[in-house]
Structure 1
Amino acid sequence: MARSWRDFFDGEHSIYVNARHKALHDRMVARDVAAIVASLAAAGRPPTVLDFGCGEATEAQEVARVSSSLILSDAAPAVLARVRERYRGDPRIRVLDPGEVEALAPGSLDVVAVNSLLQYLPRAELQRLLEVWRDLLAPGGHLVVGDVVPPDVSPLTDAAALLRFGWQGGFLAAAGAGLVRTALSDYRRLRAELGLSTYDENVMLSLLENAGFEARRRRPNIGHNQARMTFVATRPD
């Protein structure tokens, strides 16, 4: 039985209702992140990018195509091992654990992308990581934070977004069945015991600005759930 969010994601779980859901989700997120990275590239120079909390990163080559170098990192050891094996031998992609990321040279990154992670972090850890990411970014570099959960977004809102995505993606029946499995899984128990970290727009902007960034909300959100939020924060020159 998982005792933490990291344990949950490092084991078997029912976040994705079937293989089609996972494939479409990964493709959409990679496409959205790649579009943001390309739009932030300075003077057409492909940036050095860190995807922190990358998960399985099955579509990471989409982001690598618009990057000079892509670093993937995740705190779940089994997940990271699979990612390392998946991209072994790809010269554009490096896979590092979080400790190795923090040991990178200050100012060595152009973009840090963090998607669908903040809800699983205590606020104190988020504040620490914001300082880490700021120091790793070069002046003028960008932090992209996606899928931030506002306080007024309920599990029913998330369920409706999944059903909509299932209808659009051709896995509606599996989405309905998956919601039932999730209701009986460790995810519901952990959400009740540990909760999710939520932030309204103004609080998120304040956290980013207090960490030394110039920040703005970006629409649309990364991924399928538009009840959640994406922010772009820039380290000043």
Structure 2
Amino acid sequence: MNWRDYWNQDTPIYTGERHKLLHYRLVANDIIGLISSPDAIVLDYGCGEALCRQGGGQMCPALPERCRPLVRDRLKERFGSNPRITVVSTDDVSELPEASLDLIVVNSLVQYLSLDEFRSLLKLSRDKLKDSGRLILGDIIPPDISPLTDAKALLSFAWRGGFLRSAVAGLARTAFSDYRRIREEVGLAQYSEEEIVDLLSDAGFSPERAERNLGHNPARMTFVGRPVQDLDAEDATER
């Protein structure tokens, strides 16, 4: 089993319904805070089940075509009647007009991508964002973080959210789950701040690290990429 197969099924990554609800609510509020206009067109790439995400702007939850059809079907069932939300695949995103999106959010996904897949996603994002748009890369795992650090962050979140007992039981289940086995065998992609800055710059973005990470884990990182204008075009305009 690989990450693609793992996420294409019901997974025990959440310790209970309260954990899932509070997690999505927290991330949703973080994303809503990034939306600058009620008319903004927002792409939530790799959105998962996207519970509670109904803020301002037109939301486009996107899931890779080659994985998570189960989740995609659930999203369509949940949001099919909402005219402001469209569930799209990667192929659908590729067909969107260039420079048509105001905000692209990629949260807690980069760790499951190969470097080539990550570079392709950055290029796609650069093509689809407006000149005034932003790319948000959330939950980037730095090289020095360990599973123990993640566990401590979860337990702290659980203590505040009132699901500590189920979190402890969930961590025990995870210790014997496919998630741990795949993490040990396949690993998670981890990047330093300098590496993310270089990758964003190479893809045509002006990068900066956000003050805080999206979600509950302060040991991970979030970055903002703003499209860099075409210098050749600017030079030609000046001449």
TM-score, with length taken from structure 2? 0.92
Pick from 205, 208, 212 the counterpart of residue 216 of structure 1.
Answer: 208
Deviation, 1:236, is 2.5
> Secondary structure of 1:153's partner?
coil
Distance across 2 between alignment mates of 1:142 and 1:156: 32
Tell me what 2:60 maps to.
71
Is 1:16 equivalent to 2:5 in the alignment?
A: no
Q: How does 1:9-158 map to 2 (within 5 A)?
A: 9-37=7-35, 41=36, 44=37, 46-61=39-54, 65-67=55-57, 69-75=58-64, 76-158=68-150
Distance across 2 between alignment mates of 1:72 and 1:45: 17
Deviation, 1:58, is 1.0
Deviation, 1:45, is 6.0
Deviation, 1:46, is 3.0
Structure 1, residues 120-151: CA drift from partner, whole Å, max 9, x if none? Answer: 00111100110011001111211011000001
% of aligned pairs identical? 47
Change (3 A) 1:81 1:96: same
CA contact (8 A) 2:38 2:56 kept: no
Distance across 1 between alignment mates of 2:198 and 2:30: 25
- Paired residue type of 1:174: S
CA contact (8 A) 2:104 2:134 kept: yes
Distance across 2 between alignment mates of 1:72 and 1:97: 9
CA contact (8 A) 1:137 1:235 kept: yes
CA contact (8 A) 2:208 2:224 kept: yes
Structure 1, residues 15-65: CA drift from partner, whole Å, max 9, x if none? Answer: 10000000000000000111122xxx2xx563110000000001121xxx3
CA contact (8 A) 2:132 2:227 kept: yes
Runs of 5+ unmatched residues, structure 2: 230-239
- Poorly superposed stretches of 4+, deviation over 3 Å: none
- Paired residue type of 1:66: G
Deviation, 1:12, is 2.0
CA contact (8 A) 1:140 1:236 kept: no
Structure 1, residues 84-120: CA drift from partner, whole Å, max 9, x if none? Answer: 1100110110001111111111111111001000000
Distance across 2 between alignment mates of 1:84 and 1:172: 32
Change (3 A) 1:81 1:97: same
CA contact (8 A) 2:102 2:133 kept: yes
Deviation, 1:158, is 0.2
- Paired residue type of 1:71: C
Distance across 2 between alignment mates of 1:57 and 1:24: 12
> Secondary structure of 1:60's partner?
coil
Distance across 2 between alignment mates of 1:24 and 1:181: 20
* Structure number, greater radius of gyration: 2
